[in-house]
Structure 1
């Protein structure tokens, strides 16, 4: 199927649209973007990754950031209450869908200059403003119908860069290069297959878990927030476009933040290609198991919440070996 998509050098598809867009590749009304790469045959082939039955959850607890989530997002609240006179409990959860592990959906981040989301959707379509009828177009609920299911690979950049003797500061703007990620895969012996779901362990979770509350408070107050992440470059975009159905990692911004170019990967991946971006995945147990087994590929299953018109969702994800 890789030969059925345009080469990166052939983007943009819609010449009247923003840079590097793939609008119309799967039809003008498509809401799946690169998830169209997860065909039945691709998913069936990915099932061969299941050999031992070991399952590892990849979701950070919904309340992991406590009352101090970054980017000004609302904290998770849980209300457990009894329903007397019966010995019965119910609970109510209230949370921002991006305050813990998340898939960024196609309503989250559009092209900033052009003010357009995937396939040309505008803020008016989403909010029902300026005489445009409000709709659920590009909502996260579309992804729940078949889930995000296929062959996952882990590129353990954190483990690799320690072996290289390199410093890495998760809370300062710095870029993980495309060349380094390719070298990580090579050194791990990990083959990349078209349609793979990419997960990158940057070292963020390891660093975050060592912080005190006061340190988190100080960082949270910075403007702008700064994080290490993948580089903004043609090489990185070509690597992502040419190989993957979705991409994410353990860091809160996926890409180096703030962006080091006049564009953000978020707008190209989400707004241009419809490629899900995963953030704050808890990859520590996964990395330990991959290292133990000497295998960095697995069957990955994720079921975003079925919320029509939703912006983002916890992934509800499992890696199965």
Structure 2
């Protein structure tokens, strides 16, 4: 697939920086998922050799009653339906309180106040004379899913081998140079249209905390996390290679942002690139290390809510 050079962005010169608006048409809602063509998926399916399946989903209730960013906790109402021996349950949760795909309604360009392809808050909410719509809803991604060749860059394992320290709960950047070094050390070839997964070490660190330590971090405002660096070079690498990306940490990029812009703005609102967060990559990292295979087939179907902002990923890595 031919795409514009990174240097040619913004594509819509009247729009915000680095945008690719109009590349797939003015009404497109798939963004970089357009890179997952039938032929791309067919080729990716050749990664299936053993049939081993690894879930990347953190439990919906994993953060208990204290999710980060002040989000609502998962709640289950379980009830019997007497006199029959039958149970039903009702789930209530914020779609970003556990593993999640950020959809195109989640994060817009902050200064310009617009989302992918120029969609506004009024378009989404039906305010100021606009009709409420489902435009940019995550349900558009459910029809074909997020399916393709996945690659894990296990930054956490590589860093430990290097003897380098890392604080998952402090604002710090995972550099592009380091990610490329991880790929080289693993012998991982990056291909156009890949689904990138980065194991930062957040999940491993979080699992070592007790409830009191987690609660103390919740009181820190704004919260701070390690994540990928915010740089032109990182953006260019993402633009030139990937259909979607995800990590095991809450914010994908170093948070709070260290620039006057964020990767979320460009990737979600500029390109329509799905960003996954809080993926549980512990079992995946273990299997990849044991088999020396860091490439696999990915199958993910976001929930079909036409106006949805985000969704649990419902994701498997298949070897």
Q: Sort the TM-score into its range (normalised by shorter chain).
A: over 0.9
Q: Which residue of 2 aligns with 1:193?
A: 191
Distance 1:273 1:59 in 2: 25
Matched residues in 1 for 2:40 and 2:280: separation? 25
- Secondary structure, counterpart of 2:101 in structure 1: strand
Counterpart CA distance in 2 for 1:309 and 1:185 is 37
Q: Is structure 2 residue 20 aligned with structure 1 residue 18?
A: no
The corresponding residue for 1:212 is 210
What's the secondary structure of 1:199's corresponding residue? strand
Q: What is the match of residue 307 of structure 1?
A: 305
1:32 alignment partner, one of 19, 30, 33: 30
Counterpart Cα distance in 1 of 2:30 and 2:218: 33
* Residues 33-55 of structure 1: CA deviation (Å, up to 9, x unaligned): 00000000000000000000000
| C-alpha distance in 1 between matches for 2:54 and 2:211 | 28
The C-alpha deviation readout for 1:69-105, integer Å capped at 9, x for no partner, is: 0000000001111000000001100000000000000
1:65 match: secondary structure: coil
Gaps of 5+ in 2: none
Structure 1 SS opposite 2:149: strand
Runs of 4 or more above 6 Å deviation: none
**Offset of 1:179 from its aligned partner?**
0.8
Shift of 1:133: 1.2
CA-CA distance at 1:293 after TM superposition: 0.4
Inter-partner Cα distance in structure 2 for 1:108 and 1:306: 16
Q: CA deviation at 1:169?
A: 0.0
| Counterparts of 1:212 and 1:299, CA distance in 2 | 35
> What TM-score, normalized by structure 2, do the two folds share?
1.00
Give 1:164 shift: 1.0
Whether 2:240 is the aligned partner of 1:242: answer: yes
Q: State the match for 2:175 in structure 1.
A: 177
1:280 aligned onto 2:278: yes
Corresponding residue for residue 96 of structure 1: 94
2:81 maps to which of 74, 80, 83: 83
Matched residues in 1 for 2:9 and 2:112: separation? 17
Distance 1:133 1:20 in 2: 29
**Which residue of the other structure, out of 243, 250, 253, is the alignment partner of 2:251?**
253
How many correspondences in the alignment?
A: 319
Structure 1 position 24, deviation (Å): 0.2
Residue 173 of structure 1, CA deviation: 0.2
Of 47, 53, 56, 1:55 maps to: 53
- CA-to-aligned-CA distance 1:14-34 (integer Å, 9 cap, x gap): 000000000000000000000
Q: 1:161 — aligned with what?
A: 159
Structure 2 SS opposite 1:175: strand
Q: State the 1:134 CA deviation.
A: 1.0
Question: In 2, distance between residues paired with 1:221 and 1:147?
Answer: 36
| Selected match of 2:105 from 79, 82, 107 | 107
Q: 2:38, 2:184 → 1: CA distance?
A: 28
1:268 corresponds in structure 2 to 266
Q: Give, in angstroms, the shift of residue 252 of structure 1.
A: 0.3
Structure 1 unaligned residues grouped into runs of 5+: none
Residue 214 of structure 1 and its aligned partner are, at CA, apart by: 0.9
Deviation at 1:132, TM superposition (A): 1.0
